[in-house]
Homo-oligomer: A and B are copies of this chain.
Amino acid sequence: MLLKRRAQVDAISRILLLAGGETLSYHQRQGARFQQGVLRIMKAFILGIGILVACTASVSADEGMWLFNHPPREYLKKKYGFVPTDRWLEHVQKSSVRFNNGGSGSFVSADGLVMTNHHVGADCLHKLSDARHNYYRDGFYAATRGQEKRCHDLELNVLMSIEDVTERVNAAVKPNMSAEEAARARRAVMAKIEKESLDKTGLRSDVITLYQGGQYHLYRYKKYTDVRLVFAPEQAIAFFGGDPDNFEYPRYCLDVAFFRVYENGKPAKIEHYLKWSKRGAVEDELVFVSGNPGRTDRLATLARLHYLRDRGFPELLKLLYRWEVVLTAWSNRDAENARRAKDFLFSVQNSRKARRGGLAGLLDPEIMARKTKEERELQKQMAKDPKLRDALKAYDQIAQAEATLAKHLRERRALEFGAAFNSKLFDFARHLVRAAEEKQKDDGDRLREYRSSALPSLEQQLFSEEPLYDDFETLKLADSLMWFSEEFGAEHPLVKKVLAGKAPSARAAELVRGTKLKSVSYRKKLYKGGRAAIDACTDPMILLAKLVDPASRKVRKIMDTQEEIKRQAFAKIANAKYQIQGDSVYPDATFTLRLAFGVVKGYEQNGEHIPFETTIAGLYERAKQHDFKEPFNLPPRWLERKDKLNLKTPMNFVCTADIIGGNSGSPVINKDAEIVGLIFDGNIQSLVLDYIYTDKQARAVSVHSRAIIEALTKVYDAESLAKEITGR
């Protein structure tokens, strides 16, 4: 949904980014895997908004998030006279890195150095911080390898190969199976393919659902779990302008961070990494973006867009508004409160802005008219071809499934997505309770996030040493229990059982105080103890998770069934569309590696020309306009070193590449595959890209490569890092 995942980390943002939640998590292979790996993301599922849709109506301009095994060679040749070779593509693909907490990155040295955004690294920065050291706020630089700090639970993936397994997956589904049986059969064969691949290659293996099930590709990833922090600037410069400037342009952010991947305790040796361009991005230049767009909704039917516009987004926003207010109020009481809540709060603010932007797009009758026209035309073409007529029925099937899902929206959010139990401690409890049960089943029968192939990521999260704070967990849990009571009514039987005769705040305090799940060793013990340990466990949070599980599983089953119906219906539409439009079509985003491209250029806004780039001089001017007050304050170093800087250095720039949330941290490269910039945001006009591409005003916003080097050398005295990157 998001064109950007602004801030981070803790909660929804990365999910909102993946967005849609249930589809991605339960039916999109990699989504599910990705998710379970990130327990706290569960909160975001409250979205309950989404289903992925598979391709775009008509490709034009610089539109597209292309598969690396099916790039738009002809279009590129025709429009730009450039054809990427297989070698070029392999090099870029293997230089690209996925941050499993919801962003993108790239290798920039042979010694495992990875570049991404500060806001993608924020999760790690935050978890490495404590009351004395606030690396997230103050930045960090390891001048030597020995000083590099290992992240608690970060997993990076590098896509090593793509294999089409469509036939094998489809063969597992027999013609007369019910929707539920079909889903089970598909899950089973996908799990099997993954398991076989993992056993054979040792590589993380995900079967990716593309084109809504039109194709299934096996993606094999090299996985790095020893990831160390090398450099991050101060949050004030990374996110200069804060929430007020978020999604706006012109911008002045140094939203960059560097990590290093290790293997066997040593910096990993990397064959494919991106070189640094000397001159960086220049106006009108063709550029490429290699990253992991999280989710787009470009084939969404009108019925679905109406649902999103009238129900999905409004309901989600209500929750986001509430969280933003509760977190802000708590943060304002005390500086340490603010530090603890900052990431989560930024995530919420970012999502709120993105969702309001997206909703504003859907409320624009012009946009809706274009979508209506597209759908009508597509349906007309379907009606002409007897082989495709069946797809027309799929529109009704989707509408019916949506209606069923909408009916259960409240239960889904509260129980299955855990909005009623907003605490990491509850997330631990739920996963421990479910893992104990699911691990007794065959792989194919398990909930997706507990299958063998998914367990390593789950375990990494479950056993994370990340610090937890009783007061913050209590705050979130108390508010979510209050919300639960408000949504269902205080006399609802399940609400009464959950609250156990206490007020929400008292119950939350009792649960957080009483649970032993704060201890990693206790979590490990319970996990290893399996079903018997869980059955015998009287920890209050475990008891709560056990209490709500039957109701939660019930709604999960409804979800899974309806999502499967939708999946099949969308597949029919996607397939028909594919028949009609041929291979001028790319699949919707799935948080897997894609290649986008575009031109570096400005745009018109309210009759004014917005230039393509900003400069470091502009940064100082904007800070001054706001009296250097937060969030327009500059870190002390930036004030002290101003004279040393070349103020004409480009700071940020925009281009027309088709990107979306999840692309955060993606390298922007030129035809020679050299880095010229670093994606970190989209402008407010780009928020509509979820549904429809436009290059009229929508722009991707990047840090200019020259700003990074200028800052590293003149502000941060990080000469050796700059040298490693530029090779000079």
Binding site for B on A (CB under 8 A): 242-244, 306, 309-310, 313-314, 317-318, 320-322, 324-325, 328-329, 332-333, 335, 349, 352-353, 359-360, 363-366, 482, 485-487, 489-491, 501-505, 626-627, 631
Q: Contact at A314–B487, with CB atoms within 8 Å?
A: yes
Q: Contact at B363–A310, with CB atoms within 8 Å?
A: no
**A318's closest neighbor in chain B, by CB?**
B318
Min CB distance, A285 to chain B, in Å?
32
Best-surrounded residue of A244, A353, A489, A501 (most CB of chain B within 10 A):
A244
Cross-chain contact of A490 among B309, B321, B505 (Cβ < 8 A): B309
Q: Contact at B321–A485, with CB atoms within 8 Å?
A: no
**A479's closest neighbor in chain B, by CB?**
B356
Complex-state Cα separation, A243 to B360, whole angstroms: 30
> This chain: how many copies in the complex?
2
Q: Contact at A243–B329, with CB atoms within 8 Å?
A: yes
**A482's closest neighbor in chain B, by CB?**
B363
Min CB distance, A566 to chain B, in Å?
21
Q: Contact at B244–A503, with CB atoms within 8 Å?
A: no
- When distances are taken between beta carbons in the complex, the residues of chain B under 8 Å from A505 are 360
Complex-state Cα separation, A676 to B352, whole angstroms: 47
- When distances are taken between beta carbons in the complex, the residues of chain B under 8 Å from A626 are 335
- When distances are taken between beta carbons in the complex, the residues of chain B under 8 Å from A320 are 325
Q: Contact at B490–A332, with CB atoms within 8 Å?
A: no
The interface residues of chain A, by DSSP majority, are classed as helix
- When distances are taken between beta carbons in the complex, the residues of chain B under 8 Å from A242 are 332
Complex-state Cα separation, A320 to B326, whole angstroms: 12
Complex-state Cα separation, A631 to B505, whole angstroms: 26
- When distances are taken between beta carbons in the complex, the residues of chain B under 8 Å from A333 are 244
**A331's closest neighbor in chain B, by CB?**
B244
Cross-chain contact of A365 among B314, B364, B503 (Cβ < 8 A): B503
Complex-state Cα separation, A314 to B487, whole angstroms: 8
- When distances are taken between beta carbons in the complex, the residues of chain B under 8 Å from A322 are 317-318, 321
> Can you identify 10 A-B contacts, CB atoms within 8 angstroms?
A306-B489, A310-B489, A310-B491, A314-B487, A318-B318, A320-B325, A328-B328, A332-B631, A363-B482, A365-B503
20 further interface pairs, Cβ-Cβ under 8 Å (given A325-B325, A325-B352, A365-B502)? A242-B332, A244-B333, A310-B485, A310-B486, A310-B490, A310-B491, A314-B486, A318-B322, A321-B321, A321-B322, A328-B328, A332-B631, A335-B626, A335-B627, A360-B504, A363-B485, A363-B504, A364-B503, A365-B501, A366-B503
Complex-state Cα separation, A352 to B321, whole angstroms: 12
Complex-state Cα separation, A309 to B485, whole angstroms: 9
Complex-state Cα separation, A482 to B309, whole angstroms: 11
- When distances are taken between beta carbons in the complex, the residues of chain B under 8 Å from A352 are 325
- When distances are taken between beta carbons in the complex, the residues of chain B under 8 Å from A332 are 242-244, 631
- When distances are taken between beta carbons in the complex, the residues of chain B under 8 Å from A485 are 310, 363
Complex-state Cα separation, A626 to B365, whole angstroms: 49
**A367's closest neighbor in chain B, by CB?**
B503
